[in-house]
Amino acid sequence: MAVRAIGKHRLYHQPVTTQPVLQSVMEEEILTEEEHEKWQEGWVKYQDAVYAYNEEILTFLIMGIDKRDDVKEAEKGTDGGQADALFLLVLNPKDESIKVIGINRNTMTDVDIYDDNGAYDSTVKAQIAIQHGFGDGMEESCEYQKKAVENLFYQLPIHGYAAINMSAISTINDAVGGVDVTVPEDLAGFNEDFVEGRSLHLMGENAFWYVKYRDTDIFGSADMRLDRQKQYLTSFIEAAKQAVHKDVSVVIDLYQAVKPQMVTDVSLDKVAYLAPILAEYAYDGDSFHNLQGETVMGEQYEEFYPDEEAMFEMILDVFYEKVQ
């Protein structure tokens, strides 16, 4: 209990941005006289409703790094590994809910470019997944990636991150007793078990490949994989909730088990505070949000462009609450 109290205090009293920097009033919105009198900094008016950021929310950036060994410092400043999977895990104490936002790895956004010596060169529009590669593969890479995601989400406060090498998926999956899925697309050419419509209980390497695999020769394969990851995460969270109900220490054990393959700023006391929340907070398929947008073929690689209005509405829905 003491450790959990310390973890909670550190989570809510660490230096993060206070709230997203959204346009306070949309151009077509006009404040009423009462709204104008009571208006507070940071409020947003959209479609005749006024919203305030929920400051009790905790948001964590989860990164799946395209590496299969233990984490180690990269030899070059541009070899930190790409973030092939990017998710925001959102915990809302007010309604005791868990939400997840999936970010397409090809999302075009501002990416800071560094040379082999780690010196800043320029900022360009590029796929968000490559930002992690411009760093040491450790905390530096994570901070770069966190900054890119915060900027994409209008300076959204992020309270912690975990960058996990993809090879840890099997360990994480098996720690909760495996995950049940129904294969959404025919991948039998890659794995004879991955037949469209087949129900599987994923264990070990099958879990790794189910989450990791995509055929880069197929246009939109990153979108298809993200849909598969959405399905997997929904089932995984339910399996994890059941495992924690049986034994809350499973989260601590898992944290220690994947530590060699993970870089995180979420300390053990914070994990101790968060573990029971995982078991008690509500989560279902409707709790997962994908960025809406369009994938097009760029000069060399696929590029995903978010629908800014849909993204704005999603941020209001997940991170804000209506002002009565």
Exposure string for 205-227, b = 16+ CB within 10 A, e = fewer: ebbbbbbbebeeeeeebbbbbbe
For residue 297, count other CB atoms closer than 10 A to its CB.
Answer: 10
CB-hemisphere CA count at 13 Å for 253? Answer: 12
pLDDT score, position 187? 87
| Residue 95 tokens, joined | 């309604």
pLDDT score, position 285? 74
The predicted model scores a pTM of 0.92
CA distance 137 to 70: 11
| Residue 177 tokens, joined | 């007793």
- Which of 189, 232, 225, 240 has the alpha carbon at shortest distance from 207? 232
pLDDT score, position 236? 92
pLDDT score, position 29? 80
CA distances from 320 to 67, 79, 107 (A): 36, 37, 23
pLDDT score, position 24? 63
What 8-state DSSP symbol labels residue 291?
P
- Which of 164, 297, 290, 158 has the alpha carbon at shortest distance from 229? 290
For residue 302, count other CB atoms closer than 10 A to its CB.
Answer: 19
Interacting residues of 104 by C-beta distance below 8 A, sequence separation 6+: 222, 223, 226, 290, 291, 293, 295, 304
CA distances from 125 to 152, 219, 290 (A): 11, 21, 21
CA distance 254 to 174: 10
CB-hemisphere CA count at 13 Å for 152? Answer: 35
Q: What is the pLDDT along the chain (324 residues), one digit of tens a residue?
A: 888 889 888 888 887 778 898 876 666 688 889 988 999 988 999 988 999 999 999 999 999 999 888 999 988 777 889 999 999 999 999 999 999 999 999 999 999 999 888 889 999 999 999 999 998 999 999 999 999 999 999 999 999 999 999 889 999 999 999 999 999 988 888 888 899 999 999 999 999 999 998 888 889 888 889 999 999 999 999 999 888 888 888 888 889 889 999 999 999 999 989 988 888 999 987 899 999 999 999 999 999 999 999 999 999 999 999 998
Percent helix, strand, coil in the chain, to 5, is 35, 25, 35
Bridge partners of 111?
124
| Residue 276 tokens, joined | 């029971």
CA distance 162 to 323: 33
CA distances from 198 to 121, 188, 202 (A): 49, 11, 12
Pairing between β-strand 302-306 and β-strand 44-46 as defined by DSSP bridges: unpaired
- Which of 259, 268, 61, 89 has the alpha carbon at shortest distance from 168? 259
- Which of 169, 100, 170, 105 has the alpha carbon at shortest distance from 132? 105
